[in-house]
Amino acid sequence: MEDSLEFNKLITEFHIEPEVIKYCYQCSKCSDNCPVTAVTSDQYTDTGYNPRGNILMTLLGRKDSLLEGDDLKIWGCTVCVTCDEVCPQKIELTEVFTFLKNQSIALGKVQILSMAKQKLFTKMVKLYRHNLQLREEEKN
């Protein structure tokens, strides 16, 4: 419990405005607009990258769940900042996710494979966004 509170405090203080992160009301706009979620999520198995879930776990101080998760858990984020732009509560999600990645490295939990996968995701996301843009242009 103490560990959870300490972890929560560290992340909160890392955020540019410490109180703001607590205003998350789990609307899921971040996940709904995240291109990595779009290319990795599976509604039938509830798997894939989930920024909304990561913010919830952060607020609950669930350090182990976040840092002991699979490669996608925190390393799926490509820092495209879409979630920062759409969050109605002005939460800087990418700051939180950067903190989590730094913690993972500091505790020696990151794997080389994670970084390789992240490069792959970055390419996938670029392709996804490019395709979205093309579809939008076709509509207009």
CB of 95 to ligand SF4, least distance (A): 10
100 is a site residue for ligand SF4 (CB under 6 A): no
132 is a site residue for ligand SF4 (CB under 6 A): no
- Token readout for 4 is 């959870």
11 is a site residue for ligand SF4 (CB under 6 A): no
Strands (E), 17-129: none
**Residue 94: how many CB atoms within 10 A of its CB?**
17
- Within 26-45, which residues bind ligand SF4 (CB under 6 A)? 26-30, 34, 36
Q: Would you say 76 and 25 are in contact if contact means Cβ atoms under 8 Å apart?
A: no
80 is a site residue for ligand SF4 (CB under 6 A): yes
77 is a site residue for ligand SF4 (CB under 6 A): yes
122 is a site residue for ligand SF4 (CB under 6 A): no
Distances (CA, A) of 132 to 50, 83, 124: 20, 16, 12
- State which of residues 11, 67, 83, 110 lies at the interface with ligand SF4 (CB under 6 A): 83
Strand partners, 47: 42
CA distance 119 to 78: 8
Positions that interact with ligand SF4 (CB under 6 A):
24-30, 34, 36, 51-52, 55, 77-83, 87-89, 91, 93-94
